[in-house]
Amino acid sequence: MAYVAPAEVEQIPPAEVEDVELYHAKSWVTKYVFSQDAKVIAIQYSATAIAIGLVGLVLSWLMRLQLGFPELFDFIEPSDYYQFITVHGMIMVIYLLTALFLGGFGNYLIPLMVGARDMVFPYVNMVSYWVYLGAVILLIVSFFVPGGATGAGWTLYPPQAILSGTPGSEGGIILMLVSLALFIIGFTMGGLNYVVTVLQARTRGMTLMRLPLTIWGIFTATVLALLAFPALLVGAVMMTFDKLLGTSFFMPALVEMGVYLDYGGGSPLLFQHLFWFFGHPEVYIVALPAFGIVSDLISVHARRHIFGYRMMVWAIVGIGALSFVVWAHHMYVSGMNPWFGFFFATTTLIIAVPTALKVYNWTLTLWKGNIRFTLPMLFALAFIVTFVNGGITGLFLGNVVVDVPLSDTMFVVAHFHMVMGVAPLLVVFGGIYHWFPLITGRMLHEGMGQFHFWVTFIGAYTIFLPLHYLGFLGVPRRYFEMGETNFIPESAQDLNAFVTVVALTVGVAQIVFFINLFWSLKNGKLAGHNPWKACSLEWRTAHVPPRHGNFDDLPVVYRWAYDYGVPGADEDFIPQDVPPDRVSTGKGEV
Amino acid sequence: MAHAEAHVEGQQHPLGIYFKIWALLFVLSTLSYLVDYYNFEGYLRWTLILLFMFMKAGLIISVFMHMLWERLALVYAIALPTIALMVFVFLMTNEADNTFLLRGIYFLGLGGS
Amino acid sequence: MTDSNTGQVAARTEGMPGIVSDWSSDQRAFKNVPWGKAMMWIFLLSDTFIFSIFLLSYMTVRMSTTIPWPYPSDIFALSFGGEPIPLILIAIMTFILITSSGTMVLAVNYGYRKDRVKTAILLLITAAFGATFVGMQAFEWTKLIVEEGVRPWTNPFGAPQFGSVFFMITGFHGFHVSVGVLFLIIIARKVWRGDYDVGRRGFFTSRKGNYEIVETMGLYWHFVDLVWVFIFAFFYLW
Amino acid sequence: MLVPIMLLLVGLGTVVFHFVSPWWWTPIASNWGYIDDTIILTFWVTGVVFVGVVLFIAWCTYRYRYQKGKKADYEPENAKLEWWLTILTTIGVAAMLAPGLWVWNDFVTVPEDAAEFEVVAKQWEWTYRFPGKDGKLGTTDAKYINDDNPFGINPKDKNGRDDILIDDGEVHLPINQPVKVLLRSIDVLHDFGIVQFRAKMDMVPGTVTSFWFTPTRIGEFDVLCFELCGVGHYAMRGMVVVDSVSDFQAWLDEQPTFAQSLAEAESDSDKSSNRVFSEASSPDREIAR
Ligand code: HEA
Ligand code: HEA
Ligand code: CUA
Ligand SMILES: [Cu+2]
Which tens digit of pLDDT belongs to each residue from C144-169?
898 888 888 888 888 889 999 999 99
CA D271/CA A583 separation, integer angstroms: 95
> How would you write D17-60 as a 3-class SS string?
HHHHCCCCCCCCCECCHHHHHHHHHHHHHHHHHHHHHHHHHHHH
* 3-class secondary structure, C126: helix
C 62-91 residues inside an 8 A Cβ radius of A: 64-67
Report the domain count for chain B: 2
Report the domain count for chain D: 2
Which residue range(s) make up the domain with C11?
Answer: 1-32
Q: Specify which residues A255 forms β-bridges with.
A: A260
Region C195-208: mean pLDDT is 79
Choice between C99 and C16, residue whose per-residue pLDDT is larger: C99
CA A564/CA A573 separation, integer angstroms: 4
D282: pLDDT confidence band, cut at 50, 70 and 90? very low
- The C-alpha R_g of chain B, in whole angstroms, comes to 22
- A26 pLDDT exceeds 90? no
Domain boundary among B52, B69, B86: B69
CA A32/CA A126 separation, integer angstroms: 11
Cis geometry, peptide bond prior to residue A545 (ω within 30 degrees of 0): yes
Q: What angle do CA A32, A38, A44 make, to 5 degrees?
A: 50
Region A330-334: mean pLDDT is 94
Domain boundary among B34, B51, B69: B69
What was the pLDDT predicted at B8?
A: 46
Distances (CA, A) of A510 to A57, A418, A446, A520: 10, 18, 15, 15
Nearest to C132 by CA among C88, C176, C172, C100: C100
Q: Does A336 touch chain B (CB under 8 A)?
A: yes
CB contact under 8 A, D195 and A474: yes
What was the pLDDT predicted at A331?
A: 94
Give the CATH number of the domain where residue A46 resides.
1.20.210.10
Q: What are phi and psi of A574, to 5 degrees?
A: -125, 110
CA A390/CA A393 separation, integer angstroms: 5
Encode pLDDT of A96-151 as tens digits. Answer: 999 999 999 999 999 999 999 999 999 999 999 999 999 999 999 999 998 889 99
A272 CB neighbours in chain B (<8 A) are none
Are residue D127 and residue D256 in the same domain, yes or no? yes
Q: Distance, in angstroms, between C68 CA and closest chain D CA? A: 4
- Does residue A200 lie in a domain region? yes
CA D29/CA D249 separation, integer angstroms: 20
> Ligand 1 center to residue A284 CA distance, Å?
10
Distances (CA, A) of D286 to A258, A272, D112: 24, 27, 30
A273 CB neighbours in chain B (<8 A) are 88, 91-92, 95
C75: pLDDT confidence band, cut at 50, 70 and 90? confident
Are residue A560 and residue A495 in the same domain, yes or no? no
CA D139/CA B104 separation, integer angstroms: 10
CA A3/CA A558 separation, integer angstroms: 9
* 3-class secondary structure, D281: helix
- Does residue D276 lie in a domain region? no
Domain boundary among A526, A547, A571: A526
Residue A10, CB-side half-sphere exposure with 13 Å CA sphere: 4
A10: pLDDT confidence band, cut at 50, 70 and 90? low
Choice between B2 and A504, residue whose per-residue pLDDT is larger: A504
> Ligand 3 center to residue D234 CA distance, Å?
7
Are residue B51 and residue B6 in the same domain, yes or no? yes
Q: What is the mean pLDDT of chain B?
A: 84
Dihedral sign, Cα of residue A579, residue A581, residue A587, residue A588? negative
Residue bearing the CA closest to ligand 2, atom 24? A89
Are residue B60 and residue B112 in the same domain, yes or no? no
Are residue C86 and residue C53 in the same domain, yes or no? yes
With a pLDDT cut of 70, the percent of chain A lying above it is: 97
CA A380/CA A426 separation, integer angstroms: 7
Lowest mean pLDDT among A214-223, C66-75, C97-106, C133-142: C66-75
Are residue A531 and residue A513 in the same domain, yes or no? no
Are residue D41 and residue D162 in the same domain, yes or no? no
Residue bearing the CA closest to ligand 2, atom 5? A421
Q: What are phi and psi of B36, to 5 degrees?
A: -75, -40
C199: pLDDT confidence band, cut at 50, 70 and 90? confident
Sheet architecture: strand order including D115-122: D164-166, D125-130, D115-122, D179-185, D209-213
Are residue D14 and residue D154 in the same domain, yes or no? no
- C6 pLDDT exceeds 50? no
Longest distance between any two alpha carbons in chain B, whole Å: 75
What was the pLDDT predicted at C4?
A: 36
- D118 pLDDT exceeds 60? yes
Sheet architecture: strand order including D199-203: D170-174, D237-243, D219-225, D190-194, D199-203
Ligand 2 pocket test, pick from A50, A60, A81 with the greatest ligand atom count within 8 Å of Cβ, gives: A60
Are residue C9 and residue C94 in the same domain, yes or no? no
Nearest to A503 by CA among A43, A56, A26, A44: A56
- D286 pLDDT exceeds 90? no
Distances (CA, A) of A243 to A134, A163, D73, D228: 22, 9, 62, 19
Which residue range(s) make up the domain with D54?
Answer: 2-66+77-108
What was the pLDDT predicted at A387?
A: 95
- Does residue D279 lie in a domain region? no
CB contact under 8 A, D286 and C68: yes
Nearest to D38 by CA among D114, D101, D90: D101
Q: Distance, in angstroms, between B112 CA and closest chain C CA? A: 17
With a pLDDT cut of 90, the percent of chain B lying above it is: 46
Are residue D140 and residue D241 in the same domain, yes or no? yes
CA C137/CA C231 separation, integer angstroms: 13
Are residue D137 and residue D231 in the same domain, yes or no? yes
CA C70/CA C60 separation, integer angstroms: 16
Are residue C53 and residue C8 in the same domain, yes or no? no
Encode pLDDT of A380-431 as tens digits. Answer: 999 999 999 999 999 999 999 999 999 999 999 999 999 999 999 999 999 9
Report the domain count for chain C: 2
Taking CA atoms, what residue in D is nearest to A347? Answer: D97
CA A240/CA A174 separation, integer angstroms: 6
Choice between D275 and A569, residue whose per-residue pLDDT is larger: A569
Interface test with B, best of A220, A224, A337 (most B CBs within 10 A): A337
Helix A38-68 crosses helix A78-90 at what angle (to 10 degrees)?
150
pTM: 0.94
- D160 pLDDT exceeds 90? no
- Does residue A13 lie in a domain region? no
Any idea which ligand is nearest the CA of A160? Answer: 3
What was the pLDDT predicted at C212?
A: 86
What is the bridge-based pairing of β-strands A259-260 and A255-256? antiparallel
Are residue C44 and residue C17 in the same domain, yes or no? no
Secondary structure letter of residue A147 according to DSSP: T
Q: What are phi and psi of D238, to 5 degrees?
A: -145, -175
Secondary structure letter of residue D255 according to DSSP: S
- Give D13's contacts (C-beta < 8 A, 6+ positions apart): none
Are residue D101 and residue D213 in the same domain, yes or no? no
Q: State the closest ligand 1 atom to the C-alpha of A326, by its place in the atom list counted from 1.
A: 35
Which residue range(s) make up the domain with B15?
Answer: 1-69
- Does residue D283 lie in a domain region? no
> Ligand 1 center to residue A382 CA distance, Å?
18
Are residue C75 and residue C160 in the same domain, yes or no? yes
Q: Specify which residues D179 forms β-bridges with.
A: D115, D213
Residue bearing the CA closest to ligand 3, atom 1? D190
CB contact under 8 A, A264 and C64: no
Q: Does B94 touch chain A (CB under 8 A)?
A: yes
> How would you write A124-144 as a 3-class SS string?
HHHHHHHHHHHHHHHHHHHHH
Secondary structure letter of residue D173 according to DSSP: E
Say if residues A272 and D191 touch (Cβ distance below 8 Å).
no
- A5 pLDDT exceeds 60? no
Report the domain count for chain A: 3
- D181 pLDDT exceeds 70? yes
With a pLDDT cut of 90, the percent of chain A lying above it is: 73
What was the pLDDT predicted at A286?
A: 94
Q: Does C59 touch chain A (CB under 8 A)?
A: no
CA C91/CA C88 separation, integer angstroms: 5
> How would you write A222-244 as a 3-class SS string?
HHHHHHHHHHHHHHHHHHHHHHH
Are residue A233 and residue A374 in the same domain, yes or no? no
Q: Distance, in angstroms, between D49 CA and closest chain A CA? A: 9
- A58 pLDDT exceeds 50? yes
- Does residue D282 lie in a domain region? no
Dihedral sign, Cα of residue D47, residue D50, residue D53, residue D59? negative
List, in sequence order, every beta strand (DSSP E) within chain C. Answer: 78-79, 84-85
CB contact under 8 A, B37 and C30: no
CA B34 to centroid of chain Cα atoms: 18
> Ligand 4 center to residue B20 CA distance, Å?
48
Helix C15-23 crosses helix B72-79 at what angle (to 10 degrees)?
80
Residue A174, CB-side half-sphere exposure with 13 Å CA sphere: 12
D225 Cβ below 6 A of ligand 3: yes
Which residue range(s) make up the domain with A532?
Answer: 527-590
- A588 pLDDT exceeds 70? no
Say if residues A499 and A509 touch (Cβ distance below 8 Å).
no
Are residue C79 and residue C177 in the same domain, yes or no? yes
What was the pLDDT predicted at A9?
A: 52
Give the CATH number of the domain where residue D204 resides.
2.60.40.420
- A309 pLDDT exceeds 50? yes
- Give C56's contacts (C-beta < 8 A, 6+ positions apart): B85, B88, B89, B92
Region B89-102: mean pLDDT is 92
Q: What is the mean pLDDT of chain D?
A: 86
C158 CB neighbours in chain D (<8 A) are 288
With a pLDDT cut of 90, the percent of chain C lying above it is: 50
Q: Distance, in angstroms, between C57 CA and closest chain B CA? A: 9
Are residue A380 and residue A435 in the same domain, yes or no? yes
- Does residue A314 lie in a domain region? yes
Sequence length of chain B is: 113
Sequence length of chain D is: 289
| A331-349 burial: b if 16+ Cβ within 10 Å, else e | bbbbbbbbebbbbbbbbbb
Lowest mean pLDDT among A69-78, B4-13, D34-43: B4-13
Region A289-295: mean pLDDT is 96
Q: End-to-end distance of chain A based on CA atoms, in angstroms?
A: 19
Encode pLDDT of A226-262 as tens digits. Answer: 999 999 999 999 999 999 998 999 999 898 888 888 8
CB contact under 8 A, B65 and C211: no
Tally Cβ neighbours within 10 Å of residue A74: 6
* Cβ neighbourhood burial of A571 (10 Å; 0-12, 13-18, 19+): middle
Instruction: Say which of C18, C86, C222 has its CB closest to residue B37.
Output: C86
C60 CB neighbours in chain B (<8 A) are 92, 95-96
CA A108 to centroid of chain Cα atoms: 15
> Ligand 1 center to residue A280 CA distance, Å?
9
A87: pLDDT confidence band, cut at 50, 70 and 90? very high
Size of interface A-B (CB pairs under 8 A): 31
Give the CATH number of the domain where residue C116 resides.
1.20.120.80
Region A519-536: mean pLDDT is 90
Q: Does D198 touch chain A (CB under 8 A)?
A: yes
Q: Does B113 touch chain C (CB under 8 A)?
A: no
DSSP structure string for A48-109: HHHHHHHHHHHHHHHHHHHHHSTTT-TT--HHHHHHHHHHHHHIIIIIIIIIIIIIIIIHHH
User: What type of residue sits at position A207?
Assistant: T
Residue A4, CB-side half-sphere exposure with 13 Å CA sphere: 26
CA D97/CA C173 separation, integer angstroms: 44
What is the bridge-based pairing of β-strands D237-243 and D170-174? parallel
Say if residues D285 and D206 touch (Cβ distance below 8 Å).
no
What was the pLDDT predicted at C179?
A: 96
Tally Cβ neighbours within 10 Å of residue B12: 11
- A456 pLDDT exceeds 60? yes
Q: What are phi and psi of D116, to 5 degrees?
A: -105, 140
CB contact under 8 A, A402 and D38: yes
Q: What are phi and psi of D41, to 5 degrees?
A: -60, -45
- A462 pLDDT exceeds 70? yes
CA D196/CA D274 separation, integer angstroms: 41
Are residue C28 and residue C77 in the same domain, yes or no? no
Sequence length of chain C is: 238
Are residue D239 and residue D265 in the same domain, yes or no? yes
